[in-house]
Structure 1
């Protein structure tokens, strides 16, 4: 006798997306903390690349410096959280652990390497200093690792003791 029902593919997709969004949010928080710590150590100014990119894509401009900072944070968190959907789809393909985190990292960082220069809000990677590339890899790596750990922790299959008793 079975007391559980196998989820449909649509339910699996919805779960992967939902858990992916949670994982993406966690990864974005971790990346933000990483960026804050690194900026304090290196005395680097806070990046305004997110607001620059959205200003170009949507042809809008924040009305003040305070508004610019607020919008920059909102875009950063929305963008990072939404990339969690990709992590959910990677998990839906059956990948987990390092292979999934690496694929997620490659998708996120690879997209930024193409998108930001094409919008002319960042130089091509070939024109960046090795130190700047390393810092960017570090922050995106933190994002991908934390997103992956959270996704895998939430979706880890636990042994159901009730199931063992009934079978």
Structure 2
């Protein structure tokens, strides 16, 4: 009699025990007004991108996404592609980041003709600097708008609404320009 109940309790508790990495509560979450963390990562062309060289030159739209070629991530990336001219006209530079390899980013970029920078973050070190929360076994999906002053001006998070990240970031930038 106890055995089925214990098995059920174990099955219900197992996900919480298995996903101990989903609790990023110890990592500081970047908030509006915080300075962007300093980082340098390689892009899809194996060129080093150093954020300190971009501060003051462009508004930065930095978005973290779980995986190249996945359904929601592809929809998000293609939405950024389709709105790329609007971001550029507003003085913004779009940058996607995840733990995928330079080669994976190159293939993803070429497959969908993505005109913006994709950065490889092995080990999710930059992801952790921003305090992006993981959801179950995947890294999170969050977008940050970094102002010319190098501080977070806007942030948006929604795991399953990739296109909303694009819409929200672009709307924020357009409203801030008024």
Q: Which has the higher relative contact order, 1 or 2, with Cα contacts under 8 A spaced 6 or more apart?
A: 1
TM-score (norm 2): 0.28
Query: Which one has a bigger Cα radius of gyration?
Result: 1
In terms of fraction of residues, the more strand-rich structure is 2
In terms of fraction of residues, the more helix-rich structure is 1
TM-score (norm 1): 0.29
